[in-house]
Amino acid sequence: MKFIDEAVIELEAGRGGDGCVSFRREKYVPRGGPNGGDGGWGGSIIFKTDGGLATLMDVRFRHRFQASSGGHGKGKEMNGAKGEDLIVRIPAGTVIFDNETGELLADLSSSGIEWIAAKGGKGGLGNRHFVSSIHQAPRKCTEGEGGEKRRVRLELKLLADVGLVGLPNAGKSTLLRALSNARPKVADYPFTTTIPYLGLVDLGEERSFVMADIPGLIEGAHTGAGMGIQFLRHIERTKIILHLIDITNPAHLDPVQTYQTLRNELESFHPDLAKRKEIICLTKMDITEAKERTQKEMAALKKAGASDIIPISSASREGLKDLLKKIGALLGI
């Protein structure tokens, strides 16, 4: 299934029903007064977050949502029925913007939240509301009001405790497979991961956290280079950022430059990301070359400002216990 994390849709709430002009016509009531009922409110469009949804696919391909109109008023002071609300289910973590102005309308960051995206129109008034001392038999009523219309942009930001970042082929997908129930694609060519993956990591004793594998960043990702700009938003909600650095890949930068490049891309996208808790993982410690260079590269990274540095190997599981222990301590679980 393709990962869909953005959608633009049109919303139109239901129109209110019209009021009614009616008079009492009873045999033994010689001068019956007005008894026209009011129109019902139009149905609203309500977004509701559903923890069982992972993408915006259900809304992206529908494009337009319209709620039902309210019923018209009737005689004998019978009001029209309210239009049925339209519930649109979306994933938790969805952010909603006005597509025309860019204004942030709602940030629905947890499951079970309901938010009225477009309010139904008010129903019209029946003629019984227009009686006065000089106008005892009004033939006046009002029409129902139109429902709200708006065009909105939905963006999904994954809800994860830990986000994996790194240059292409740094070992993010392999680490996620080693630690969690997720099964992202793993291969030895750049940009193997083309969609974000979430995995639940079990620490035992009913302790767990969610880890997200974000497609590989490259320099300039925050401006649209590579695939970064499409997926950097998913880092925003993470509590810990794991920088994965492969010190054996000749296509990668020097480890210090790699670390600085990743931090720069994150900070350029959103300044707050530079303040997040972070762990630097030197990957592929099952390779002899990596082991031989570990101490030298750790010293250089510490000099560059990095603090928590853990050498790991997803293949041999070296260092993974230390990594999980550190993550658990930073998350306070």
pLDDT tens, residue by residue, 17-59: 999 999 987 776 656 789 999 999 999 999 999 988 878 888 9
- Stretch 255-264: mean pLDDT, rounded? 90
How far apart, in whole angstroms, are the C-alpha atoms of residue 262 and residue 265? 5
Based on the number of CB atoms within 10 Å of its own CB, is 275 exposed (0-12), middle (13-18) or buried (19 or more)?
exposed
pLDDT of the residue at 185: 56
Q: How confident is the model at residue 184 (pLDDT cuts 50, 70, 90)?
A: low
Same domain, 129 and 270: no
CATH code of 232's domain: 3.40.50.300
pLDDT of the residue at 213: 84
Are 86 and 45 in contact by the 8 Å Cβ rule? The answer is yes
Report pLDDT digits (tens) over 200-234. Answer: 899 988 888 989 887 756 444 444 444 444 566 77
Same domain, 191 and 123: no
Distance, CA of 131 to chain centre: 51
pLDDT of the residue at 28: 67
| Within a domain: 1 | no
Same domain, 254 and 137: no
Same domain, 146 and 179: no
How far apart, in whole angstroms, are the C-alpha atoms of residue 246 and residue 290? 8
Crossing angle for the helix pair 255-269 and 288-303, to the nearest 10 degrees:
60
Same domain, 177 and 320: yes
Same domain, 196 and 274: yes
Instruction: With a cut of 90, say whether residue 73 has pLDDT above it.
Output: yes
DSSP states of 172-214: HHHHHHHHSS------SSTT---S-EEEEEEEETTEEEEEEEP
Domain boundary among 156, 190, 225: 156
CATH code of 13's domain: 2.70.210.12
Same domain, 181 and 318: yes
pLDDT of the residue at 297: 93
| Within a domain: 36 | yes
- Stretch 78-94: mean pLDDT, rounded? 95
Contacts of 202 (CB under 8 A, 6+ apart): 180, 208
Give the total number of structural domains in the chain.
Answer: 2
Same domain, 52 and 28: yes
| Within a domain: 223 | yes
Q: Which domain holds residue 31?
A: 6-156
Domain boundary among 156, 174, 202: 156
Report pLDDT digits (tens) over 235-245. Answer: 788 899 999 99
How far apart, in whole angstroms, are the C-alpha atoms of residue 231 and residue 223? 12
Tokens of 55: 């993408």
Same domain, 16 and 105: yes
pLDDT of the residue at 1: 38
